[in-house]
Amino acid sequence: MSLGLVLEHAGTPPTYERNDAFLEWDHVRRLADDHSLDELEAELEELLERIQMYQDRYGVDTPDEVDAATAETAPADFADWTAARARLRRYERARQIRLSGSERSR
């Protein structure tokens, strides 16, 4: 039985790689299980505010759009901005899981 944690590639000997998609799904599922809808939405609001702050500060929508010279002057900003965007995606997915679960329980 496979849990999906690794992907097996055919060959002799077989080789394996970590299944990042499964690990991401598992992380999102745990967020949905461990947080109420209100908690997820509060975190989403904070993340959106933080992302908006960076968008306003640098005048672009994503960290990828910032020129390299500017990015080098504030690496912590760009690391935080990138992390906030990744976290936002996870929390949005967890919120959707929560919403679909609350729809079934009605």
Walk along the chain (106 residues) and give the pLDDT tens digit of each residue.
Answer: 456 677 777 888 888 888 888 889 999 999 999 999 999 999 999 999 999 999 999 999 999 999 999 989 999 999 999 999 999 999 999 999 999 985 444 3
Nearest in space to 91 (alpha carbons), one of 24, 40, 56: 40
Query: What is the spatial distance between Cα 64 and Cα 105, in angstroms, rounded to a whole number?
Result: 41
Answer yes or no: is 15 within a domain: no
Answer yes or no: is 17 within a domain: no
Answer yes or no: is 14 within a domain: no
The CA-atom distances, in angstroms, between 74 and each of 22, 48, 60, 95 are 33, 20, 15, 31
What is the pLDDT at residue 105? 41
Query: What is the spatial distance between Cα 74 and Cα 66, in angstroms, rounded to a whole number?
Result: 11
Answer yes or no: is 61 within a domain: yes
What is the pLDDT at residue 101? 82
This model's pTM is above 0.75: yes
Answer yes or no: is 4 within a domain: no
What is the pLDDT at residue 106? 36
What is the pLDDT at residue 18? 82
Other CB atoms closer than 10 Å to residue 94's CB: what's the count?
Answer: 24
Answer yes or no: is 5 within a domain: no
Domain that holds residue 35: 28-104
> What residue type is assigned to position 23 of the chain?
L
Per the CB < 8 A criterion, the answer to whether 93 and 26 are in contact is no
Say if residue 40 is exposed, middle or buried (CB neighbours under 10 Å; 0-12, 13-18, 19+): buried
Answer yes or no: is 55 within a domain: yes
Answer yes or no: is 34 within a domain: yes
User: How many residues comprise the chain?
Assistant: 106
Q: How many domains does the chain have?
A: 1
